[in-house]
Amino acid sequence: MITLSNINKTFRVARRQAGFGRAVKALFSREYELIHALNDVSFTIKDGEMVGYIGPNGAGKSTTIKIMCGILTPDSGMCKINGRVPWRDRIAHVREIGVVFGQRSQLWWDVPIIDSFELLRDIYKIDRKIYKNNLDELTVLLDLSELLKTPARSLSLGQRMRCEIAASLLHSPKILFLDEPTIGLDAVSKMTVRQFIKRINAERGTTVILTTHDMQDIEALTERILLIGKGRILLDGSLTELKKRSSRRKTLVVEYNGSAPEITDDMTLIEKKNGRLVISLDPEIFPVSDAIAYLAARTELTDVSVSGITAEEMVAELYREYHI
């Protein structure tokens, strides 16, 4: 159980204008700017939940994660994770969490992966039997058997990410923090990682908190999303709920032979090329089936496709809506 209540965090950042003269001036007197990284952030995450934590760059995602990991202390507010305050009870707390920073490796660059794993076993004092079980399981699930004897520096990014994730799960943490786990991965690796995260959540009941910019991650993995912008939690809800909430408009793409059909006022024309029309419409006002029938009566349709809003578009719309 993770509870954050009224967390505030401010950073003081030195500010100066470009130019050498200004740089010299800044050496002696500095102007500081206060940045409210987090502003009254509160939320609760239950055990075994899988939460997507999204927001544009600089919104406060990693500050929140750092506070939950015990790396940073907030200015005010309380954070309790499984009954502990992370930054006060650091050692006991971190024993129960696993952290993957997508952009930073925790593996030793020059030695085989298995050596890194064994060092982690000693760092976390993992019981030999548990370690062996976990390692065997992770090896099968993430298909690591070929990789374990290779040094990290000769692995591809996708292979390394699989090893990173395995490394953070060796000590059977109750909570897993994933900071952009799929960044820079190819399509196949992304799918493997997603499937695996889903499975760990379902089978072990590990709570997963995931930050990402890849909306497909969110779509594939999380039921609940938290949207943060300018240091505030803006939305907390399920993805389906959000989709319903945001624009219901559908996009209709038709291909036709012959002359272009006239469209009604209820349809918005997005694109018109020879033989192809892209139309946006609100199904409440003009049902999609009626629209197709309407077009079919006026021209010879060769292909029709209808699509709703994607998570990507929805998030972009949300960012616009909240001006973040």
Positions touching other proteins (CB under 8 A) are 11-12, 63, 66, 69-73, 75, 87, 90-92, 94-95, 97, 99, 101, 104, 106, 108-111, 115, 118-119, 122-125, 151
What is the closest distance, in whole angstroms, from the C-beta atom of residue 130 to other proteins in the complex? Answer: 15
Nearer to other proteins, 86 or 158 (CB): 86
Report in angstroms how near the CB of residue 111 gets to other proteins at its nearest: 5
- Taking Cα atoms as reference points, which of 215, 214, 288, 219 lies closest to residue 250? 288
Yes or no: say if 91 and 171 are a contact pair by the CB < 8 Å rule: no
> Quick one: 11 or 286, whose CB is closer to other proteins?
11
In this structure, the dihedral spanned by the alpha carbons of residues 153, 159, 162 and 166, taken in order and rounded to 10 degrees, is -50
User: Do you know the residue count of the chain?
Assistant: 324
Complex with other proteins: residue 127 or 203, whichever CB lies closer: 127
- Report, in Å, the least distance between residue 238 CB and other proteins: 29
User: Tokens 């987090």 label which residue?
Assistant: 38
Tell me the closest approach of the beta carbon of residue 4 to other proteins, in angstroms. 17
Q: How far is the CB of 16 from other proteins (least distance, A)?
A: 16
Smallest gap from residue 66 Cβ to other proteins (A): 7
Residue closest to 68 by CA, chosen among 57, 82, 54, 56: 82
Smallest gap from residue 48 Cβ to other proteins (A): 21
**Can you read off the two tokens belonging to residue 323?**
């001006």
Cα Rg for the chain, rounded, in angstroms? 25
